[in-house]
Structure 1
Amino acid sequence: MYIPDSQSSQAKVLPTMYDLPSEDPEEAGLPDEYHRWQAQLLCDSCLPSNYPADRVFSASDLNLYYDSNHLNWYKRPDWYLVVGVSRFYQDRDLRQSYVIWDEVVSPLIAIEFLSPSTEDEDLGLTESEPNKPPTKWQVYEKILKIPYYFVFSKYNNQLRVFRLIGNRYREQLLTGSRFWIPEIQLSLGLWEGAFLQNQRLWLRWYDINGNLIPTPEEFERQRAQLESQRAEFERQQAEIERQQAESESQRAESERQRAEFERQRAESESQRAESESRRANQLADRLRAMGINPDEL
């Protein structure tokens, strides 16, 4: 679990998720379709093998409150992952926001999908203003100390990853367009394919063997394909067995016909021998009637 540095203890009662909303009514605009679909794809297939499913929480555009001294300060990552916490708030409720002093555990991963209006801040190129909240980069790096920060641009399909080393983000090299995260036994990388009928490069999760982790829909489709293949295999096996049974029946019929032929041939031979014997006896009788002994011939 990733726990931020504890802030100064306070006697006052701090607000919880129930007190801090997930959206600011004065903030205009909602994520575009790409942001929603990419976040959905990440959520649907993030299945760390070393954590139970109910101890993995991921969110998209859910307010992340990080400073108990400034209760209205928050960031809203395009996507983030927290492991080692309950999937539900206090094991029962869907979260309205993620309040770090209430949850205690910081995200392991934050991901931003670049857009022209936020690119500079996402890449740490903007400076915080006096008496204003810190920048997104500062919050992720210095306050929450999120170990892995990914930035992806849908405009040039560039994926960049920054890893917290010491107290600073250091950009990392990707291996085969993927980056291995040992804490969750998964890689995050690029995948070209169709999701919700849209063909493009997407961010996807890969398992320890480099296999793409399917979404529930993909899993069901693969299962249906396997069931179809199994049914086809069983049909082919049944057809082979039917043909084998038919071949056995034909062989048995051929054996029966051969045996019948042999019986008829033997009967014919017996009848011929009997006929030859009668003719010989008749000839012998005629010879005797003529006064000739056939045995002396």
Structure 2
Amino acid sequence: MVQQPLIGDDYYVPDANTLVTEDDTPVDNFASAKQQRLLVGALYSSAQEQTFLAEANVGIFYKANQPAIMPDVFLSLDVEVPESWWDKQNRSYLVWQFGKPPEVVIEIVSNKIGEELGKKLKIYEQVRVSYYIVYDPGQHLGQQVLRVHELKGRRYTESQESWLEQVGLGLRLWEGEFEGRQDIWLRWCYRDGNIVLTGDERAEQAEHRAEQAEHRAQLLAEQLRAMGIDPETLT
């Protein structure tokens, strides 16, 4: 029997070469895939100063001799993917490698058999993920579309508050267009409720401000000419 390297007195580091980090099995639908891109992409397009790692459909290995659990989206603060990300031990989120679990996990419900409120909830509770979010746009699990579970002590408590205090971000439903699709989306937001913009939204906003500034300049020039003043002489 091979002796495993110890961490402290109770834990050992599993050999990453024995882990199944990818199985190349497609698991998602169009709607879920697009929603995942929105949640992950907006964070990386934002002006976040804090180091973080956000990803979709990447396995979280949380315990020796246990398969990974693969959330739809997760967010982990103060960590980043190592430079050697093709190395086996860096391809997935190994809790013992990063030194902490993610702060947020989001599951997007597509059917009634995913056990989002059963087995998965218990696993994330055991992993000690601070916030476990269940987004159920099709209302497969009941009338409630968004459920926020916050870790209090050793157990999750369902919260009516969608502001995630430990993360400094919130979640809200937003109706609008993303990647050419008009729908209701789950979005990250700031405390004031304003959504975290994607890169495209930031570019559109900047373009709109530039167009408004140009329009104001044109109006001012017209007013000056009406007063007999050549605006070119004022530059």
Partners in 1 of 2:48 and 2:84 — Cα distance? 19
Partners in 2 of 1:48 and 1:8 — Cα distance? 40
Is structure 2 residue 153 aligned with structure 1 residue 166?
yes
Is structure 2 residue 200 aligned with structure 1 residue 214?
no
Q: Per the alignment, do residues 172 and 117 of structure 1 end up closer, same or farther by CA in structure 2, a change over 3 Å counting?
A: same
Among candidates 88, 104, 107, match of residue 109 of structure 1: 104
Report which of the two has the higher share of helix. Answer: 1
Contact residue 45 and residue 197 of structure 2 kept, 8 A: no
Contact residue 147 and residue 164 of structure 1 kept, 8 A: yes
Alignment of 1:49-64 (within 5 A): 52-53=49-50, 55-64=51-60
Match for residue 79 of structure 2?
85
Contact residue 191 and residue 204 of structure 1 kept, 8 A: yes
**1:228-258 deviation line (CA, Å, top 9, x unaligned):** 11111111112222222259xxxxxxxxxxx
Contact residue 45 and residue 199 of structure 2 kept, 8 A: no
Partners in 1 of 2:206 and 2:20 — Cα distance? 40
Q: Per the alignment, do residues 52 and 246 of structure 1 end up closer, same or farther by CA in structure 2, a change over 3 Å counting?
A: closer
Q: Per the alignment, do residues 7 and 190 of structure 1 end up closer, same or farther by CA in structure 2, a change over 3 Å counting?
A: farther
Alignment of 1:192-203 (within 5 A): 192-203=175-186
Structure 1 runs (4+) greater than 6 angstroms displaced: 47-50
RMSD over equivalenced CA pairs, Å: 2.8
Among candidates 74, 79, 83, match of residue 68 of structure 2: 74
Contact residue 45 and residue 198 of structure 2 kept, 8 A: no
3-state SS of 2:110 partner: coil
Deviation at 1:211, TM superposition (A): 1.4
Identity between Structure 1 and Structure 2 (%): 27
TM-score by length of 1: 0.66
Match for residue 15 of structure 2?
15
Deviation at 1:187, TM superposition (A): 1.2
Match for residue 3 of structure 2?
none
3-state SS of 1:30 partner: coil
Deviation at 1:201, TM superposition (A): 1.3
Partners in 1 of 2:9 and 2:21 — Cα distance? 23
Contact residue 21 and residue 63 of structure 1 kept, 8 A: no
Alignment of 1:101-180 (within 5 A): 101-116=96-111, 118-119=113-114, 121-124=115-118, 135-142=119-126, 144-156=127-139, 158-174=145-161, 179-180=162-163
Deviation at 1:186, TM superposition (A): 1.4
TM-score by length of 2: 0.81
Is structure 2 residue 165 aligned with structure 1 residue 182?
yes
Deviation at 1:113, TM superposition (A): 0.6
3-state SS of 1:210 partner: coil
Partners in 2 of 1:30 and 1:93 — Cα distance? 23
**1:49-69 deviation line (CA, Å, top 9, x unaligned):** 99625x11111110111113x
Among candidates 33, 38, 55, match of residue 36 of structure 1: 33
Which structure has the greater CA radius of gyration?
1
Contact residue 76 and residue 101 of structure 2 kept, 8 A: yes
Partners in 2 of 1:64 and 1:7 — Cα distance? 23
Q: Per the alignment, do residues 8 and 57 of structure 1 end up closer, same or farther by CA in structure 2, a change over 3 Å counting?
A: same
Give the aligned length. Answer: 217
Structure 1 residues without counterparts, runs of 5 or longer: 1-5, 125-134, 248-297
Partners in 1 of 2:193 and 2:9 — Cα distance? 40
Partners in 1 of 2:121 and 2:147 — Cα distance? 14
